[in-house]
Structure 1
Amino acid sequence: MNKAVIMNAKRTIIGKKNGVLKNYSPEQLASYVIQELTENLHEPVDDILLGNAVGPGGNLARLSALESRQPLSAPGMTVDRQCGSGLEAIRLACHLIQGGAGDTYVAGGVESTSTSPYKNRARFSPKHIGDPDMGIAAENVAEKYRISREIQDEFARLSYQRSLDSLRKGYFSDELVSITGIPARDEGLKPGLNYERMLKRLSSCFKKNGTVTAGNSSGVNDGAAAVLVMSEDKAKELHLQPILRFVDSTVIGVDPHFPATGPIPAVSKLLAKNNLTIEDIDLIEINEAFAVKVALFAREFSIPYDKINREGGAIAMGHPYGASGANLVTRLFHQAKRYQPNYCLATIGIGGGLGIAVLWEMVG
């Protein structure tokens, strides 16, 4: 079986809705990342796979391929698994390589909430089952599993602290592509803000007397991220050194009322399939749509926060839906070069009740 490896990983900054990226269409955002990843390739990619959640519809991946001046022979396919779309695109590219469909792919995701033509979100679940908004769904999880406001705020404070530390250390510089006139800093990061005081002052925003606030959940954002995926044989042929090797992946459904639980069975199944335990995993990137998701994940697996989102996450930096899963892998790629893990994984819980998990190993 062919083995898929990650050669490079890039992202734009993450902008706030109607913020610094508001005038960039999704295909423009994606084009910056695609151009950077393919700049030194001397042959076309087999395909470009991009996740997207909120529009504008159509085959955005093909549009982005053309926008980024790829050869006309380079096709494109758009993937929608809502906020797991970027991770699903990467997962799909790896499995395509395993199956022998191609050797070189750009895979990731993009979102422009600022330019989306849709005022309301798509349905996640049929009416007869129930289709809660994500904030209410997070409150459902907090109530059912007794995750207090204090526990959620504790992790949120850690996310802000870690993200700002990473900014100060220059960790994001290798991840980011340049966009003329746009500062190379995620728009949500505010080095001068007292986040601890801010967290204490905020009221619940989805439910009266609830525990989920604007401080312990992510915002609404714009951005793009993608990776260059190759077969290991192709990388050797081109004398290139990969960083991460794809091992396996899982997708699983859960109750749509509790989508934040999705990563738990997804990761459990993935570990069992590969005869691993959570102790074998050195780095974990989980999308911080809500702090309650991470707090529950850490509790269920009995692991410290030290293993999770070591350099910050979406609560502090933002959640550009279709790109967020690709942001997780981009972060793992660059962290792997710093920390030399044996195994690492990316996981995300998704509206409608889904969980995706993807397992990677460091290329020795």
Structure 2
Amino acid sequence: MSGAWIVAAKRTAVAPRHGALAALAVHDLAAPLIQAILAETGLAPDSVDDIILGNALYGGGNPARVVGLAAGLNVPAQTIDTQCCAGLDAVIAASERIAAGAADVILCGGVESFSRSPLRLRRPLHDNEEAVEYQRPPFTPWADRDPDMIASAHDLAVRLDIPRVRQEVFAIESHRKALAARDRLQDEIVAVAGLDRDAFARELSEKTCARLPALVGTITAATTAVEADAAAVLAVVSDAALQELKATHALRITASRRIAGDPVLPGLMSTQAAQAVLAQAQLATGDIAVVEMMEAFAVQALGTVDALRFDPIRVNRGGGALSRGHPIGASGAILAVRLFHELQQEAPGTRGLATIAAAGGLGSALIVEKA
């Protein structure tokens, strides 16, 4: 069994749908990240064994292979679609292959373009019928147990007794942290289409939040992450490859878990995935110094903070998806990139955790430790 090590992590800036990255195809977003990682690490293109990328909206095919070819790599590639979990699941899949001795160098992560995603049509059954557009595929086989995500977030807020004002305070803080960290975050961002910083973060006030109409119940536009375009790629390597690289800032992947639960309340899964991975690693909440968790909705993130009693100071230190946006297949990989760069500021032995939930009742979590 080999260890699995993250030795480099890069991402694009995150731009809202129809924003600064709207004209770019997914390979235009992700290929520059692969090239930047190869240049930074000195990894030779022919040393890469595989490319694994998460994606949810491409519409078929294998975008990871297209990305690899666009980056100049003629290597095997595979695409994972587990919706919001896909980017982190790609990192987990890479670490498992490395640990099993099936590969030494894998480039992994996620890429998504809401702006360029294809229109979806259901094929008519008969010649006299027209195709019908739909917005998303089913996440369960039961229509009465396949909720809209915003409605599900409201149901979660009711279940956890998290009022609108508390969700708004969390969103305001996410934007504040993102603005404060904007210059620092540029170390992890590869400029694409001239964009070198996250575009959405802003001065968000209580008055602004209070004026917003409810989407459903207690959920508003301020407490819901916007649809976005972005990519994130990490290099995961074996013990042998690590020694050859002589990397001095690597993170060891020490534990990972993918779980499934109630598809009606998928927002619970980020909490349950974090609990599962901590139990697997035999660690307590206090053993984790840095936490990157998905902010698809403020209520989802608050539920995880409350359940695990994470110190808010340790959570999403550079802001989260509420202040960046949610490029579905890339979001989990962005958490891993953020974790990599946040831990560079910490002492050896410091641990970090990333956790995310997905539609259909899926959750994924990862623990890393600084070498």
Superposed counterparts of 1:302-341, under 5 Å: 302-340=309-347
Q: Is it true that 1:348 corresponds to 2:356 in the alignment?
A: yes
Identity rate, percent: 37
Where does residue 184 of structure 1 map in the other structure?
Answer: 196
Which moves more between the two structures, 47-56 or 113-122?
113-122
- Letter of the 1:351 partner, please give it: A
Where does residue 214 of structure 2 map in the other structure?
Answer: 204
The 1:79–1:281 alpha-carbon spacing in structure 2 relative to 1, beyond 3 Å, is: same
SS at match of 1:172: helix
Is there any run of 5+ residues in structure 2 with no aligned partner, and where? 121-134
TM value normalised by structure 1? 0.94
Q: 1: CA distance between counterparts of 2:268 and 2:18?
A: 30
Superposed counterparts of 1:1-364, under 5 Å: 1-39=1-39, 40-44=42-46, 45-70=48-73, 72=74, 74-119=75-120, 120-128=135-143, 130-167=145-182, 170-180=183-193, 182-190=194-202, 193-205=203-215, 207=216, 210-340=217-347, 342-363=350-371
- For residues 120-172 of structure 1, the C-alpha deviation after alignment (integer angstroms, 9 at most, x for no partner) is 112111125511121111111001111110111111111010000001xx111
For the 8 Å contact 2:185–2:318, the answer to whether it is kept is: no
SS at match of 2:235: strand
Q: 2: CA distance between counterparts of 1:123 and 1:68?
A: 33
Q: 2: CA distance between counterparts of 1:284 and 1:303?
A: 8
SS at match of 2:184: coil
Q: 1: CA distance between counterparts of 2:144 and 2:95?
A: 33
Q: 1: CA distance between counterparts of 2:98 and 2:257?
A: 17
Q: 2: CA distance between counterparts of 1:189 and 1:238?
A: 36
Distance apart, 1:196 and its partner CA? 3.0
Which moves more between the two structures, 119-128 or 74-83?
119-128
The 1:349–1:121 alpha-carbon spacing in structure 2 relative to 1, beyond 3 Å, is: same
Distance apart, 1:56 and its partner CA? 3.0
Count of aligned pairs:
353
- Letter of the 1:258 partner, please give it: L
SS at match of 1:276: coil
Distance apart, 1:104 and its partner CA? 0.4
Q: 2: CA distance between counterparts of 1:258 and 1:320?
A: 21
Distance apart, 1:310 and its partner CA? 1.4
- Letter of the 2:110 partner, please give it: G
- Letter of the 2:28 partner, please give it: Q
SS at match of 1:83: helix
TM value normalised by structure 2? 0.92
Q: 2: CA distance between counterparts of 1:280 and 1:273?
A: 13
SS at match of 1:215: helix
For the 8 Å contact 1:203–1:213, the answer to whether it is kept is: yes
For the 8 Å contact 1:6–1:243, the answer to whether it is kept is: yes
Q: 1: CA distance between counterparts of 2:200 and 2:345?
A: 25
- Letter of the 2:231 partner, please give it: A
Distance apart, 1:239 and its partner CA? 2.1
Distance apart, 1:303 and its partner CA? 2.6
Q: 2: CA distance between counterparts of 1:310 and 1:58?
A: 36
The 1:56–1:123 alpha-carbon spacing in structure 2 relative to 1, beyond 3 Å, is: same
Distance apart, 1:43 and its partner CA? 4.3
For the 8 Å contact 2:169–2:206, the answer to whether it is kept is: no
Provide the alpha-carbon RMSD of the alignment: 1.3
Q: 1: CA distance between counterparts of 2:229 and 2:144?
A: 31
- For residues 331-360 of structure 1, the C-alpha deviation after alignment (integer angstroms, 9 at most, x for no partner) is 011100113362111100111111111111
Which moves more between the two structures, 112-121 or 4-13?
112-121
